[in-house]
Structures are given as structure tokens and as C-alpha cells.
Amino acid sequence: MNVTVTDGQAVEAFDVVDLIRTKRDGGELATAEIDWLIEAYTRRYVADEQMSALAMAILIRGMSRREIRDMTLAMIASGERMDFSGLGKRTVDKHSTGGVGDKITLPLMPLVASFGVAVPQLSGRGLGHTGGTLDKLESIPGWRADLTNEQMFAQLRDVGGVICAAGSGLAPADKRLYALRDITGTVEAIPLIASSIMSKKIAEGTEALVLDVKFGSGAFMTDFDKAEELARTMVELGTDAGVATSALLTDMNVPLGLAIGNANEVRESVEVLSGGGPADIVELTVALAREMLALVGQPDADVEAALADGRAMDSWRAAIFAQGGDPDAPLPVARETHTVTADRSGVLARQDALPFGIAAWRLGAGRARQQDPVLHAAGIDLHAKPGDEVVEGQPLFTLSADDDSRFERALAAVEGAWEIAPAGTVVESGPLVRQRIG
């Protein structure tokens, strides 16, 4: 117990100010102190301003591996834990740290599920320039994100995969702390990022987990070394918790694929499931599928064949139907478009991810506040990628929105975000998957 009663008065096990001072001065918090802190914050004894001070101290001073593990376990203990052992299938999940045009979950879940494993993909909504998987899928008429635990289990048993919203019972302490970090300048604290992500994934109950940790201009962690540190920290947390965990460090300097938005990203995902789609989307989907299947005992699975022969598409259609959606229904189309063309001939040498993500957000594809709606038809379609030859007057990208008044601010966001070099210029690019950890 974290609270005792003496002479009728409640007495807390610790004083939060002492914990703030300890971390401020570079000390380590004991396991019992962290357990009390998270429990007391969940029941609102520890005030937001006190947790804000501690979060800033953690950002500046860091935490040891043991402290991060204790923080993660304490956040898991604040809510329920799911158990998939009764499914009769091995379970594997994927988490991405987010980026521009990152719709990989959509083709990946049905692809992996087509190999007879269960994929419980608990996803979220977008905030700012990074899109939300649930927002994309809600472009499909009738599709619903909110499922009960019983409905999720039934779909995993019958279909093999599910993409849905996480229940409120998973790591409720993290939900409070996540919102607090967003408004106190402590989002970048690696111990808090790692414990936030991994508390939910471990509480979810998956047997194995693959992390897609992105770096570059359109990523949450722009610096490669910081992204690598985050990946290693999360892999350690998963391993310590008994979850088979690995991470791929992937490049997010250029938007993924050709579609940035919601409905248009669903269209692109269906193209991949039909055996086509942009090369980078296919490459990353295949790489993550191989990694996921290897962790659950299928290292030789032929994932390309499952895309080509329709098995992955069958899983997609079954999952969409199971959640009330119509996979054959027309997707939303914007009322207004604006196309930007090349002002000279040459080679598209640069296409910065972040400005295009911000532009899509300003068109209505994203939200500034969690309660804001998204416009499913809004977004950007790219017509060329770095390394492509272009001619003067050729379309480079098209903005879509329901209100043409949004175009001015979107165009301002992408001003200077691309560059056309002289014909014959060789555009160097590193590998999409830079490193594997785990």
C-alpha cells in the first residue's frame, strides 16, 4: 500500500517534492518511489504541476535502464492487461513512431495475418503533421474503430487481424502523462517516450513486437543517434518484460509513398495489397512483415507471394467487413484541387517530408487539437519523388481540400521544400531501412 492511516489521517509513502529534488540533482529514483509516484498521479494526489517538474528533470537528467523499466511496469499496473493466450494463435504487433505518408499498418496487418498469426494492432489518431491510422481507416464508409475486448478477440480468432482504438483501461497513467508532456516541452524525453509506448504494448499482451523507429526531417526523432537510443531503450524494455522485441530504424527524410492524407493513403494501401503500389511502401511493408513473422517462428515466409496472389487482400477485406466497413465503397474525394508544376526541366533532387506533412495538416488532413475533426478527402498526392526526371510544366504534386481557401497556407508550408537540379544530376539516397536492433 502507498498510503497508511495514522490517527485517522492518510499518510503518503513518499513526498513528491523529494522525488523531484532527487531527479533534479541527478539521482536515481527507487522502485518503490516510482511505483508510488505513478499510482499517486493516477489517483490525482500528485498534481500536474508537480509531474511537469519531474518530467522536465527526467528530460534533462535522464533515467537508468532500471528506472525506465520500473516506470513502464508502474504504468502497466495502473490499468488492465490483456491476454491472448486463449486464441490458439501466436500474436505479433508493430508500432511506428510516425511520419509523413506512413500508412504501412494498413497493408501490413492483413499481410501478416494471412500467415495464420494474430495481429492485434491497437492504433491511435493523428495530432499535428503525423497522420493517425484510425483517421485513415475512418475514410471507409461504415468502418468503426471502437471495439469491445470481446469483439477484438473474436476478430483475431476469425479473421486474424484487427486495427482498432486502444481501450481506456490500458495504462491510464500514461494517458495523463502523455497529455501533460505535450504542453510542457517534455515530449522529447526518451525515457518517457519509451515507457509511454512500451507500457501500452506490453499491457496489450502481444507475444512479439516490431518497432518501426523513424529518423529524419519528417520524423518525431530527427536525429539518427537519438532515434537509435530510443529504439535500443524500447527493445530492452520489451525484452525485460518477456516480449520478443526488435526494431528497424527507417528513413523519414522523404514522404513515404505518393499519398499524404487519409482517403488517398487508403487508396495507396489497397494498391499495395493488389500487388502494386509505390516501391518504398512495398519495401517497408515487406521488411516489417518478414521481421514480424520471424519473431513468431516463420522466418522463411514468402510475403511477396501473399501480396501477389491475393491472400493479403482477402485478409484486408475480411477485416474491413468485420468492423462494419465496405471495402468496395467509393472513398471521399475533395471538392477542390490545386496542382503545382515544375518551373524548369531537370531532376527532382530534394523533397523534405516535414513541410509536406504540415501542408497536408493545413489542408484539413490532420488536427491541431485531439478533439478536432479531420477532413478525410484532404491531402497531397505526389507525382514525382527524388531522383525522378521532370520536364517544365509537369505536375509535381496536387493539393486537395474541400475549401480552396486552405491552399494559400498549405503552399506557404511547402515553399522551398523541394528542389529541381540540372538534368543528369545523380541524387544520392541512403537505404530505407538503415539498421536493425534486437
CATH homologous superfamily for the domain 3-62: Transferase, Pyrimidine Nucleoside Phosphorylase; Chain C (1.20.970.10)
Per cent of the chain over pLDDT 90 is: 84
* Mean confidence (pLDDT) of the chain: 93
> Hey, is 338 helix, strand or coil?
strand
Q: How far apart are CA 163 and CA 264, in angstroms?
A: 18
- Amino acid 3: pLDDT: 60
Q: How far apart are CA 46 and CA 364, in angstroms?
A: 37
Partners of residue 11 on adjacent β-strands: 4
Maximum average pLDDT range among 203-207, 367-371, 416-420: 416-420
Check whether 370 has a pLDDT greater than 80.
no
| Mean pLDDT, rounded, for 107-136 | 88
Top-confidence residue, 181 or 102:
102
Check whether 178 has a pLDDT greater than 60.
yes
Which run of H or of E encompasses 119?
strand 119-123
Q: Under CATH, which architecture does the 336-421 domain have?
A: Alpha-Beta Complex (3.90)
| Mean pLDDT, rounded, for 31-57 | 95
The DSSP output letter for 275 is: T
Write the pLDDT tens digit of every residue in 336-354. Answer: 999 999 999 999 999 999 9
Q: From 3.20.20.70, 3.40.50.300, 3.40.1030.10, 3.30.365.10, which CATH number describes the 85-322 domain?
A: 3.40.1030.10
Catalytic residues: 95, 174, 181, 196, 200
**What band does 176 get if pLDDT is binned at 50, 70 and 90?**
confident
Write the pLDDT tens digit of every residue in 318-327. Answer: 999 999 999 9
Residues 55-92, buried b or exposed e (16+ Cβ, 10 A)? Answer: bbbbbebebeeebbbbbbbbbbbbbeebebeeeebbbb
Residues 337-346, buried b or exposed e (16+ Cβ, 10 A)? Answer: ebebebeeeb
Find the length of the chain.
Answer: 438
Check whether 8 has a pLDDT greater than 60.
no
Neighbouring CB atoms inside 10 A of 168's CB total 10
Write the pLDDT tens digit of every residue in 198-223. Answer: 999 999 999 999 999 999 999 988 99
Q: Are strands 244-251 and 336-341 parallel, antiparallel or unpaired?
A: unpaired
| Mean pLDDT, rounded, for 104-131 | 88
- Amino acid 132: pLDDT: 85
Check whether 69 has a pLDDT greater than 90.
yes
| Mean pLDDT, rounded, for 48-68 | 96
- Amino acid 266: pLDDT: 98
> Hey, is 279 helix, strand or coil?
helix
Q: How far apart are CA 368 and CA 434, in angstroms?
A: 31
| Mean pLDDT, rounded, for 20-40 | 97
Q: Are strands 259-261 and 389-390 parallel, antiparallel or unpaired?
A: unpaired
The ranges assigned to domains in the chain are 3-62, 85-322, 336-421
| Mean pLDDT, rounded, for 69-86 | 92
Which run of H or of E encompasses 66?
helix 65-77
Check whether 6 has a pLDDT greater than 80.
no
- Amino acid 187: pLDDT: 81
